[in-house]
Amino acid sequence: MEKLFNCLFLKDYSIIPIPVYKDGENKFFKSYDKERISVSTFSVALLNEYICKKKEVGKRKTEEFNLGEENISQNSKKERLTGFTSRSTPESIVEYLLEQKGLKDDFSKPHKLCANLNKLERKGREGSFYDAYKYILDQHFKVKLARDNKLDLNDKIFYPLFALQSTPGGGKSYFLDEFASLKKDDLDSFKQKNLNDPTEMVDCIIKELRNSVSICISYNGSSAYVASRDGDGGVKGLVMRIIWSYFFDGTKLPWAFFCNQFEEKFGSLDILTATQSIIHHSGKSVLLCVDEIMKIDNENHSNIISLLNDLYTPYHSLATKDKKFRFIITTLDAIRLWDTQTASGRQINWIPLRRLEFSESIELFKEVIKKLESDSRVSVLRKCISDCNGHPRTLEKLYELLSNTTALTTYGWAALIEELTKKIVHWFVNYITFPVVKLALLGEHVRLDAMVKVTARKELSVKDLITSGVYINSVTNQDDVNEVIPTLTLVSLYYFCMKTVEGDDAKTVARILKNLLHVEDHFDLKSNDGKAFEKFHMNWELLYRALHHRNKDDHEDRTEMGLHEIYGLCLPNQSKGVKIRIQRKNIVTLHTSIEFPPKDGKIDDSRGIEIKDHLDKYMFVPTKSNNCGFEMVMFEEKANGGGYIALNIECKFSWPESKTVLSSEEIKKKYKHMKDKYLPHVNQKRQSKEPPVRKLRMEIGDIYLILVVWRDIGKLDDEILNNKNIIIVGRKELEKIYSPSLVSRPQFYGDIQKKIEN
């Protein structure tokens, strides 16, 4: 049924009749250029054009807005195609889009997801690139094998999801930008390193990638997801982002203006047709990089499931075609993505995105370091870099801070870290509480769904603390999907220990952390003798006991730990080893005249105050120069109530270029000397007046030598390996027990003496 309404044309006051058609469902349509358009979407611009055609006059110029580089018409030019429908062809879509304003000058260049304002170089991503290419190669090989054997290609096994996860600021967007660039060096490197797969298969996939066009889209940043926008979390929003990212220049036509201009046209355009349109225009395969997909997540995850199903359509449909479609996604939340995909039986190939190594972090600052004139300034800067713990965004903020010449040339370590904390404190200000810090410092694997009592009234899962940017974990292997060792930067730990904390345990940990982080040394060209490392380990021993201490009087409730468990050693006879009761300790710096243990048994601290009882409450630190290397001594109560043991700890530290190796002979000599020093204090009959150490009633088998070794260890003979009283803690074990949150500091001590390359 046809109806008419009249429009008054103001130029000559003529009346223009506008026919509207009503269908069987009482919906009104307007015929326009052989298309029927719903009146509800019939825009003012289309109405203007229709009237101008009827009057046979030129189109009226509309107001324009300035975007800096080009003026874009607010009411765009409307062509023959007034809306994408299921009948739209790739050819007609491309023809229409190429007549619009705001197009790219070079369609081969993808949109940038990461601004990288400081122009920092890519570091530490070679392994990630290799794994991503390898996953693509494996998928290609499976499809080829299935085709050769005439198998059903509908099975999901042939279409794994390629994904990477990291905490905010972990480098996801930058990785996608770099991966989308499909650099020749990266592809050549993959070919050179991949020696296990058939050469022709590797050549085939490299040829495909080189003949691909990359498209980068995001549900964050400049094209952020808007829940109130119709279809933004579904296929419509996905297709619009793909079309905008490939065809349009974001500086000429920003995302928001693109949506206002074209939103009503994308109601029926599916992703396969959109992909085929790009293939038709480019003549190449399509590599789609989707950033921050979890931004569209809803309560039942239906948005994520639907979106991925939409992406699988061209992935599957074009798998056997000459021009293919592949996609990679990023997420903050690995476990949620895992749940949605494994429920549907689809495999996820996780691309690792680790934190940067200390040496890689240093490389980012090489131009800044060149500006410094003294080695002491270099050591301050490198210490700050190490405290960023390889977290890309924290490193970026430090780089910005150092653009200030005063900060670069005069600020000490504490001042730099304090200023850096101010720049990033909003990431974690409400969540760096004692339970959060304790979980990280314990250095143990926990499930991602484990709950942490952040405050008295609020609980969050470990997963939530990662997605919010408090913990800086990312998926680096398959096991990380379910459980991780929660990790913090030393910058956030500095914030914790400097703020006001409540509770006895929290205050104790904060005090120890403060001492640990403020360990200072001059590092003047080989003059350092490893004392900074010794002080670090000393504070770690105190920290370990403070974290595991139970504040109860009943000894049965106190934590009991084996020595090999404390020091991260896995031995077959671990269950037979001695266990001790963990309790907090205070440092007692001994008088310079005392060689520990003293021959006369008298223990005086540095102020001359005698320590007579409760030796198990202290860590004794000898200061006499000829104390034969024992940096610290602790007496521990056995878990079974059978007396005490003595832990004599010596730290062995070497710079990376040092060729010093710890030998069996050196260890034997040290162990014999230690036993000789304790002989007057063990296996002795009771006397009326006894020195404090003798009161502990120890035997020679209760005296332990703990060697903490941050250096190479030579081949040890059986006499050393089979002696239960000699415990050697190597660098591998130390990197484990110090926890990922703290280990960057001793890595700094080990690296600081490397001279800057010319």
Annotate 157-198 with DSSP letters as a single string.
GG-PEEEEEB-TTSSHHHHHHHHHT--HHHHHHHHHH--SS-
pLDDT in tens, 509-548: 999 999 999 876 544 444 445 578 889 999 999 999 999 9
**171 and 254 part of one domain:** yes
* Residue span of the structural domain in which 371 resides: 358-426
- Tally of domains within the chain: 5
**Residue after which a domain boundary falls, among 426, 455, 479:** 426
Q: Percent of the chain at pLDDT above 70?
A: 82
- Is 467 in the same domain as 490? yes
198, 260: one domain? yes
* Residue 532: both structure tokens together: 């900074």
* Confidence bin at 69 (pLDDT 50/70/90): very low
User: Does the structure show a pLDDT above 60 at 42?
Assistant: no
Q: What contacts 228, CB < 8 A, 6 or more positions away?
A: none
pLDDT at 199 over 70: yes
Instruction: Read off the pLDDT band of 504 (50, 70, 90).
Output: confident
Shared domain for 600 and 746, answered yes or no, is yes
**Residues 422, 434: one domain?**
no
Q: Are residues 581 and 641 in the same domain?
A: yes
pLDDT at residue 204 is higher than 90 = yes
In this structure, the answer to whether residues 161 and 225 fall within a common structural domain is: yes
The pLDDT of residue 659 is 66
Quick one: what percent of the chain has pLDDT higher than 90?
59
In a domain, 417, yes or no: yes
Q: Distance (Å, rounded) from C-alpha 672 to C-alpha 597?
A: 15
- Overall average pLDDT of the 630-652 stretch: 90
Model confidence, pTM: 0.83
Would the pLDDT of 75 be above 50? no
Structure confidence at residue 53 (pLDDT): 54
The model's confidence at residue 419, banded by pLDDT at 50, 70 and 90, is: very high
Q: Is residue 118 part of a domain?
A: no
How far is the C-alpha of 240 from the C-alpha of 1, rounded, in Å?
Answer: 35
Please say which residue of 350, 370, 393 terminates a domain: 350
564-569's contacts with Cβ under 8 Å and 24+ in sequence apart are 564/727, 566/737, 567/706, 567/727, 567/729, 567/733, 567/737, 568/729, 568/733, 568/734, 568/736, 568/737, 569/727, 569/729, 569/733
Q: What is the pLDDT of residues 101-156, one digit of tens each?
A: 999 999 999 999 999 999 999 999 999 999 999 999 999 999 999 999 999 888 88
Q: Is 406 exposed, middle or buried (0-12, 13-18, 19+ CB in 10 A)?
A: exposed
Whether pLDDT at 457 is above 80: yes
Asked if residue 117 belongs to a domain, the reply is no
Query: Average pLDDT of 403-426?
Result: 93
Between 502 and 36, residue with greater pLDDT: 502
- Same domain assignment for residues 244 and 169: yes
Whether residue 668 is found in the same domain as residue 681: yes
Identify whether 48 is part of a domain: yes
Which pLDDT score, from 0 to 100, does residue 173 have?
97
Q: Does pLDDT of 312 surpass 70?
A: yes
- Of the three residues 378, 399, 426, the one that is the final residue of a domain is 426
Q: What is the pLDDT of residue 624?
A: 73
With 0-12 / 13-18 / 19 or more C-beta atoms within 10 angstroms meaning exposed / middle / buried, residue 672 is: exposed
Cβ atoms of 397 and 428 closer than 8 Å: no
Domain annotation covers residue 101: no
d(CA 469, CA 467): 5
For residue 359, give the nearest of 386, 397, 394, 388 by alpha carbon.
386
Tens-place pLDDT, residues 676-717: 989 888 876 766 678 889 889 899 999 999 999 988 888 899
Helix (H/G/I), strand (E/B), else coil: 47: helix
- The mean pLDDT value for 429-447 works out to 94
Tens digit of each residue's pLDDT (9 = 90 or more) over 361-381: 999 999 999 888 777 788 889
Stretch (H or E) spanning 288 = strand 285-291
Q: Is the pLDDT of residue 30 over 80?
A: no
Please indicate, yes or no, if residue 65 is contained in any of the structural domains. no
The predicted pLDDT at position 688 comes to 62
- pLDDT surpasses 60 at 197: yes
Given this model, what pLDDT does residue 378 score?
87
Average pLDDT, the chain: 85
Residues 667 and 642 in one domain: yes
CATH number at 324 reads 3.40.50
Q: Give pLDDT, residue 515.
A: 92
**Tokens 């030393």 sit on residue:** 490
Q: Check whether 15 has a pLDDT greater than 90.
A: no
Q: Is residue 530 part of a domain?
A: no
**Element of type H or E holding 19:** strand 14-22
Does 559 or 4 have the greater pLDDT score?
559
Query: Does 217 reside within a domain?
Result: yes
Residues 411 and 457 both lie in one domain: no
Whether residue 7 is predicted with pLDDT greater than 90 in this model: the reply is: no
Say what angle helices 302-317 and 235-247 make with each other, to 10 degrees.
50
In terms of domains, do 326 and 465 share one? Answer: no
Q: What is the pLDDT of residue 687?
A: 67
